[in-house]
A = this chain, B = another copy of it.
Amino acid sequence: MIEEEFKKQTELLREVYQALRPLRKVRLEDLEKALEQSKLLFIEGLKKPAFRFRREFRGFPAGTVIGPGLLMPGFPSIPRVFVLKTGIPRYIYGPFYAEEKIEGYNVRLANVFGEIKAFTRRGYVCPFATDRWPDFLPMLPEFFEKYPRYVICCEVAGPENPFVSEWPPYIKEDVAFFVFDIFDLERQKFLAPEKKYALLREYEFRTPEISGPYSPQEIDPLKGLILRYEEEGREGVVLKPVSFKDGRVIKYVTSSSNVSDLRVAFPYIGELDASYIVHRLVRMTITRWELDQPFDENFYQALGEAFFGEMKELLDKVAQGEPVEEVFKVRLRRKESLEALMAHFRTAQVRIEIRREEWKDEYLHVEFAKIYPKATSFWAGKLQGLAQID
């Protein structure tokens, strides 16, 4: 960082430190050091100074956003169980709801210094969700007027989102915002399910499908739900105790969701850790075993197509010197949002090529490609005949 800029940010950090009491459990000089080491990063473009933690730091989860009077923790990672019968009673001791797990990306919408902003899991301001929330959560301003210290946690999902190549099969175009949690900044706690459901109904926020309550001792109905989700190509469930005193939130995904992850991962394996692939193979093995789903030719066909269905085309392209890329589409309400999105990708060091830009029905329709240099050299090196020692 340039000396000048660092000095300015350090001053702003001191300002935040003065104006955010819970931060004082850490010494200011430790935060300044974190800033210097890029563990703490300045967030551009807000009305007051704010910072995000890149990784967990002294009890602040990754993606935590801090500003004067603002402590918005990073959205927690939810533990995954592999087996329902043993996993549920291990973590949940009373009735629980099953909320559909939506394949998309997580944003936290908050009223930050007088503006409604969406933050990604890592604590970036998300230009896309910040642009589009009015289309999907029109009563959000009213909500924040009444509950200025609540945060709306939702999944942005659909075929036209800028980050994720999988989406719920019933979203046929554009995206939707699925609200699944409300966080109370004052008490630094999530709302319990039933209180949350009432508010989401009141403000007409779309939610993931909610089922239950179920009992940890009687999981056959939940198995039925998961088998239906498997059929419908839905991702899975997040299980939430009716009362947080009765256990903790856990998640579980379908076999087909694991299969479909492979389709969007294997071509880009050079960018990913190998365990991404293997974890999914392990999960589908155990799920199919527990739910008595057959290991048969239909399953093998689906798995094979997920791994290899697009590989011939990809290798043909790479052999001709083309890069590995993935094309995304989005609709935006404002041209500035596209600029902000591109700036976001630059900050995140993702290489983007815009392929199409067109105003239609008051939306800017944009098509862009993400270029994957590591995946490209992963495949290209091998196709060029380079040997490896293993």
Contact = CB atoms under 8 A, between A and B. Distances in A.
A250 B390 CA distance: 12
Contact of A384 (B86, B266, B289): B86
Given A285-B308, A307-B281, A387 B295 contact: no
Contacts of A347: none
A79 B309 contact: no
Given A269-B282, A299-B304, 16 more contacts: A79-B388, A80-B388, A82-B388, A87-B385, A91-B387, A274-B274, A274-B278, A285-B307, A285-B311, A286-B379, A286-B383, A295-B309, A297-B300, A300-B305, A303-B304, A304-B304
Contact of A278 (B278, B301, B383, B389): B278
Given A273-B274, A282-B269, A311-B285, A79 B295 contact: no
Contacts of A286: 315, 379, 382-383
A281 B266 contact: yes
B300 A295 contact: no
A12 interface: no
A366 interface: no
Contact of A387 (B81, B274, B315, B386): B81
A80 B303 contact: no
Interface in A114-141: none
A341 interface: no
A223 interface: no
A266 B82 CA distance: 17
Interface string A304-337: 1101110110010000000000000000000000
8 contacts: A87-B387, A90-B384, A90-B386, A274-B275, A295-B311, A295-B312, A297-B300, A300-B300
A373 interface: no
Secondary structure at the A interface, as helix, strand, loop or mixed, is helix
Interface residues of A, number: 53
Nearest to A289: B315
A79 B387 contact: yes
A90 B315 CA distance: 19
A26 interface: no
A281 B277 contact: yes
Contacts of A77: 389-390
A78 B387 CA distance: 9
Given A87-B387, A303-B300, A385-B86, A289 B274 contact: no
Given A278-B278, A311-B295, A389 B86 contact: no
A303 B273 CA distance: 21
Nearest to A307: B281
Contacts of A295: 304, 308-309, 311-312
B278 A382 contact: no
A189 interface: no
Contacts of A304: 295, 297, 299-300, 303-304
A171 interface: no
A214 B278 CA distance: 38
B285 A83 contact: no
A269 B90 CA distance: 25
